[in-house]
A and B are shown apart, each in its own frame.
Chain A
């Protein structure tokens, strides 16, 4: 499987999905007007990956901002991970948030309560 390597823009995040390492990263800002266009290839990639995943998949989400349009697409990404986890593979979602950003922490907790995958909330201290 070809890895995904997308550079960030002011409205879309940096994305690295790599089947070799089993490490997926989503970083930066995700505030496009229409997020479906951006996220569909990521969800499709994960669907393919889910057919033969590594024993351990790690997902690092480090977003400074995301809009509500992205929030649904991020949930779709997490649902693919949930399926991988359900098929008895180890999956961990590392949710990063800045020190004083309670809103971002709370957003992570929202996902954690919906998706049955272990989350780790990681505070970034300057």
Chain B
């Protein structure tokens, strides 16, 4: 069966949802989400260590979307906002779960998959070394991305990055990333 965005989103928003969003990923949206979630976590009396980790994961995962999502997607029949992405934050079995979803050009799948598999294969110390290596040797892109977001997320959460690619059409896959904190 081919990927259905509507079903995907409604499946995602079933649990104990703190925030569910689909649409344009803009700088203003990032501000609003951060502000809203920060307030909710404070109200929930979550300990500051956990709050900070969630906040950091949100910054990195949303800014990854912001930097990498294409403005328009050719050949996608759904009615999508420009820079379309999905973000869901929920609580599941005592852990916070952050899910992001976005369309990715087929040509980029291999690189992304290899990067995540590599990150998932590393120990805590190896992740630290990888982070420091990229920090010290790789230049920032013109958009300000540094290739460090996923490494940072894996380091701060101590958990593996869960991902899936759903085939959409010849040009696009839908990329689902799940982060547990």
- Interface segment among B10-18, B88-96, B135-143: the answer is B135-143
User: Are A68 and B128 interface neighbours, CB within 8 A?
Assistant: no
In the bound complex, residues from chain A placing their C-beta under 8 Å from that of B145 are 69
List residues of B (46-93) whose CB comes within 8 Å of A's CBs: 47-49, 52-53, 55-56, 59-60, 63, 66-67
User: Are A33 and B144 interface neighbours, CB within 8 A?
Assistant: yes
Q: Is B146 among interface residues, defined by CB-CB distance under 8 A?
A: yes
Q: Is A21 among interface residues, defined by CB-CB distance under 8 A?
A: no
Given A33-B30, A33-B66, A103-B156: A10 and B35 within 8 A (CB)? yes
User: Are A69 and B132 interface neighbours, CB within 8 A?
Assistant: no
Q: Is A32 among interface residues, defined by CB-CB distance under 8 A?
A: yes
Given A34-B144, A113-B132: A69 and B63 within 8 A (CB)? yes
User: Are B52 and A68 interface neighbours, CB within 8 A?
Assistant: no
User: Are A35 and B132 interface neighbours, CB within 8 A?
Assistant: no
Interface size of B by Cβ–Cβ distance < 8 Å? 34
List residues of B (132-181) whose CB comes within 8 Å of A's CBs: 132, 135-136, 138-140, 143-146, 148-149, 151-152, 156
Q: Is A110 among interface residues, defined by CB-CB distance under 8 A?
A: yes
B143 to chain A, nearest CB (A): 6
User: Are A72 and B52 interface neighbours, CB within 8 A?
Assistant: no
Q: Is B131 among interface residues, defined by CB-CB distance under 8 A?
A: yes
In the bound complex, residues from chain A placing their C-beta under 8 Å from that of B148 are 68, 71-72
Given A33-B30, A69-B145: A103 and B53 within 8 A (CB)? yes
Indicate with 1 or 0, residue by residue over B25-61, a CB within 8 angstroms of chain A CB atoms.
0010011001100000000000111001101100110
Binding site for B on A (CB under 8 A): 10-11, 31-37, 65, 67-69, 71-73, 75, 98, 100-103, 106, 110, 113-114
Binding site for A on B (CB under 8 A): 27, 30-31, 34-35, 47-49, 52-53, 55-56, 59-60, 63, 66-67, 128, 131-132, 135-136, 138-140, 143-146, 148-149, 151-152, 156
